Amino acid sequence: MQQDTQLAPEAALIDRREALQDWLAALPADASLGFDTEFMRRNTFYPQLALIQMGWNGRYALVDPTAFDIGDALQPLLGKGQAVTVMHSASEDLEALSPLLPHGPHHLFDTQIAAAFAGLGPGISYRALVAELAGAELDKGETRSDWLQRPLTPSQRAYATLDVVYLKPVHEQLAERLAQRNRTAWHAEDCERLKQRACYREGDPQPQRAFRSASDWSPEQRALLRRVLLWRDQTARALDRPRPWLLEDGAVMSLAQHRPASASELDQRTRGQRALRSPQRQELLDVLNRPVDAEEVAATAAIPEVPQGEAKRALSAMKDCVDRVATELDLPAGLLCPRKVLEEYVVTTQWPDFLEGWRHEVLHDPLTRLLP
């Protein structure tokens, strides 16, 4: 394999809206556009978009979103048009782009998802995929670089450009393999689902469901846990600070299970939380002290229990079923149906949203027969 760190092609550095519009206007309406982003998320709730990389037909551009207001410049071609936006493992990139593309690219081709459908394994990295399909070795030396610094170094510019250079051959080969396996429609469905999940900017209305260890709490305690989690999410968004900076998960559980008797006790039990200042502490104390009423209890979804007894045996049988179907379809079992989805299904007996679409077709009948 060749080492391509020093062989990055020239890329236009775009720091004006007019230049971006001109670059995009030169593309055909149905272009397959290689697309990537660099963003920072060390001290904030929302990712800070630092760079956009684009490539089409040997032309490359590095767009500086900190230099001008991009606004809706991407919408005509990518958000509403027929262009295919080719990205690798796009979830976090789509979140960073959501202020510019609220619903994501109209036609998304995620190469990591495509690789899983094409028999190259789940969660393959872009570097490994490029090595496999393009025979090139990418340098990852700038992975943890400060992408908000200006000017960008030559090394940063080369690294960023190479992240889109190989998307064209990778896309072409994967699209062909998907067609050969009759998996094009399945891939498109999963890309659409990825867009909806990544671009959803509201918080989870039932965040307590992720706290499985609280499944045996009283209904009132579960409702209070939900209330504190919703407060944490809303406050973290308002302050643009990571959720754990306000309250770590362990602190949330402790406070919901054993309410502090006073402001001083709350201060003592939340010491070291970097974003929990005096105003937030008072808000939190009010949130904790407000009585839990019947309406709030009724609005709080149950937390799925860990499968036991018959449910545990059914879960094992379901896992074997998924493994068998995955082998028959030559798909990773985790792509077909993650274990946590089975765990929730076997406990609640409600068909999971994750298993709608093409998964319903291949799994509904065999899995429903195994319910305890």
Between CA 322 and CA 332 the distance in angstroms is 10
List Cβ neighbours of 222 (8 Å cut-off, separation of 6 or more): 208, 214, 297, 300, 302, 303
Total-model pTM: 0.92
* pLDDT digit string (tens) for the chain, length 372 residues: 344 445 789 999 999 999 999 999 999 999 999 999 999 988 999 999 999 999 999 999 999 999 999 999 999 999 999 999 999 999 999 999 999 999 999 999 999 999 999 999 999 999 999 999 999 999 877 777 899 999 999 999 999 999 999 999 999 999 999 999 999 999 999 999 999 998 877 889 999 999 999 999 999 999 999 999 999 999 999 999 999 999 999 999 999 999 999 999 999 999 999 999 999 999 999 999 999 999 999 999 999 998 999 999 999 999 999 999 999 999 999 999 999 999 999 999 999 999 999 999 999 999 999 999
List Cβ neighbours of 295 (8 Å cut-off, separation of 6 or more): none
Smallest CA-to-CA distance from 58 within 212, 169, 173 is with 169
Between CA 232 and CA 253 the distance in angstroms is 12
Smallest CA-to-CA distance from 181 within 331, 296, 284, 333 is with 331
Between CA 184 and CA 333 the distance in angstroms is 18
